[in-house]
C-alpha cells in the first residue's frame, strides 16, 4: 500500500437521498472513516475523500455502492455500511454486481457483507454442492437458508430440508423431556430463526405442516433419496465420517446441498474423527463441489465477536507452533 495521499470527490445527484447516505449525525460516514482509515469532508451533496490512493478508492466504492442501493429504493443501516466497506476492502462486488448476487426472499434481500460472503454467494449460484467452513458469526447458515428460501419461493425446488447432527454439550436425545419434536427442536433452533427472518411466520408454519420445509436431525436422513430439494447440513463438524458419507449420498435429481461447519467447535467424543474434516480431503479434487472458507475478517456480528475469534485463532496458532514435550532442540 502506498503512503501517497489522494483526494477524491464524489458528487451525488439526488439531494433527497443525501441524508440517508450520510446517516443520522453523519454516522454512516463516521463508520466508513473508522473502518477504512480515511477522512471524509462534506459540502452539500459532495464528499471529498482524503487518504492513501488505495483506501480512498475503497471509500469511493463503498459510498457509490450505498448510494446505488438508495437509488434503487432500498434503505441502508449500520450493517449495510459496514458490509459495503468490508467488500471494498476485499476488492469485491461493485454496486451493480452486488445487486446481481443478492438473494431475494419475501421478507428481505440478503446481500454479501464481506469478501468471504461474496465468494459464498457466487458458489451458491454456480455449484450444486457447497461446503462453507469458518467461525461463528460469518453468516454461513443464515445465507444458506436464504438461498434455500429463494429457490423454494421461485419454484426451482419443491422442498427445503434442514438438518443438524444432534451432538451438543454431552446430552443425548433420550435424556431430554418431551416427544421427538420437543427433543430435536433445541438443536435446530438457529435454522428456525433464519426461516422466520426470510418468510412471514404463517407461511413458515404452513410449509412446515405440509412437509415442504422439513427440519430433522441427521439420523433421519438414512435410506432416503432427496430429489427436487435444497438440503442444508448445519454444524457438520459434529458428524462422523460414516454419517457424512451417508448424508452426501442422499443427493437426488435437481437438488442442491450446502454443508456448513466450524472445525474449531467439534463436540464429538475424544478420538472420533470429524466427518467434515474427512470429507474435505476426499472431495477436494471434484470441481463441481464448491468450498468456501471464512476467516475472522468475515465475522459480521458485533465487532467484539471478531476480536474473540481472532484471539482464539492466535492462541491455537501458538499451541500448534509450540515444541512438543520431549522434542526440544538441544543447544
Distance between CA atoms of 63 and 23, rounded to whole angstroms? Answer: 12
Look up the pTM and report it: 0.78
What is the pLDDT at residue 179? 55
Neighbours of 111 (CB within 10 A): 23
Among 30-44, 49-63, 298-312, 315-329, the least confident range: 315-329
What is the pLDDT at residue 169? 42
Strands (E), 53-164: 103-104, 109-110, 129-133, 159-164
Distance between CA atoms of 145 and 157, rounded to whole angstroms? Answer: 13
pLDDT exceeds 70 at position 5? yes
Parse the chain into domains and list their residue ranges.
Answer: 5-100, 112-321
Task: Provide the pLDDT confidence category of residue 217 given band limits of 50, 70 and 90.
Answer: confident
Q: How far is CA 213 from CA 103, 148, 232, 267, 291, in A?
A: 18, 10, 11, 27, 25
What is the pLDDT at residue 78? 87
Overall average pLDDT of the 94-118 stretch: 81
pLDDT in tens, 80-91: 898 888 888 877
Distance between CA atoms of 217 and 188, rounded to whole angstroms? Answer: 8
Please tell me the CATH superfamily of domain 112-321, with its number.
P-loop containing nucleotide triphosphate hydrolases (3.40.50.300)
What is the pLDDT at residue 131? 97
Distance between CA atoms of 86 and 111, rounded to whole angstroms? Answer: 12
Pick one of 3.40.50.720, 3.30.1370.10, 3.30.70.260, 3.40.50.620 as the CATH number of 5-100: 3.30.1370.10
Task: Provide the pLDDT confidence category of residue 167 given band limits of 50, 70 and 90.
Answer: low
pLDDT exceeds 60 at position 301? yes
Among 155-169, 171-185, 279-293, the least confident range: 171-185
Task: Provide the pLDDT confidence category of residue 251 given band limits of 50, 70 and 90.
Answer: very high
What is the pLDDT at residue 171? 45
Amino acid at each position: 500500500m502506498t503512503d501517497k495521499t489522494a483526494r477524491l470527490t464524489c458528487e451525488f445527484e439526488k439531494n433527497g437521498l443525501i441524508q440517508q447516505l450520510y446517516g443520522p449525525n453523519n454516522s454512516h460516514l463516521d463508520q466508513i472513516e473508522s473502518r477504512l482509515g480515511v477522512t471524509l469532508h462534506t459540502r452539500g451533496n459532495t464528499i471529498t475523500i482524503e487518504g492513501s490512493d488505495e483506501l480512498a478508492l475503497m471509500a469511493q466504492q463503498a459510498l457509490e455502492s450505498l448510494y446505488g442501493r438508495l437509488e434503487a429504493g432500498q434503505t441502508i443501516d449500520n450493517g449495510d455500511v459496514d458490509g459495503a466497506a468490508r467488500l471494498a476492502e476485499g476488492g469485491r462486488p461493485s454496486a451493480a454486481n452486488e445487486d446481481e448476487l443478492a438473494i431475494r426472499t419475501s421478507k428481505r434481500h440478503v446481500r454479501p457483507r464481506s469478501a468471504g460472503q461474496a465468494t459464498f454467494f457466487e458458489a451458491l449460484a454456480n455449484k450444486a454442492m457447497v461446503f462453507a467452513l469458518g467461525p461463528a458469526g460469518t453468516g454461513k447458515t443464515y445465507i444458506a437458508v436464504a438461498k434455500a428460501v429463494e429457490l423454494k419461493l421461485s419454484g426451482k425446488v419443491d422442498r427445503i430440508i434442514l438438518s443438524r447432527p444432534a451432538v451438543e454439550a454431552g446430552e443425548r436425545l433420550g435424556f431430554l423431556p418431551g416427544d421427538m419434536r420437543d427433543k430435536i427442536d433445541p438443536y435446530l433452533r438457529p435454522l428456525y430463526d433464519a426461516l422466520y427472518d426470510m418468510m412471514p411466520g404463517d407461511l413458515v408454519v404452513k410449509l412446515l405442516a405440509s412437509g415442504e420445509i422439513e427440519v430433522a436431525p441427521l439420523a433421519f436422513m438414512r435410506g432416503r433419496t432427496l430429489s427436487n430439494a435444497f438440503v442444508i447440513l448445519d454444524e457438520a463438524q459434529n458428524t462422523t465420517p460414516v454419517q457424512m458419507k451417508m448424508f452426501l449420498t442422499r443427493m437426488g435429481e435437481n437438488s442442491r446441498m450446502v454443508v456448513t461447519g466450524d472445525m474449531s467447535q467439534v463436540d464429538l467424543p475424544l478420538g472420533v474423527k470429524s466427518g467434515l474434516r474427512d470429507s474435505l480431503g476426499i472431495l477436494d479434487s471434484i470441481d463441481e463441489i464448491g468450498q468456501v472458507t471464512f476467516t475472522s475478517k468475515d465475522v459480521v456480528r458485533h465487532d467484539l465477536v471478531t476480536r474473540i475469534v481472532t484471539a482464539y485463532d492466535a492462541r491455537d496458532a501458538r499451541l500448534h507452533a509450540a515444541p512438543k514435550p520431549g522434542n526440544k532442540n538441544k543447544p
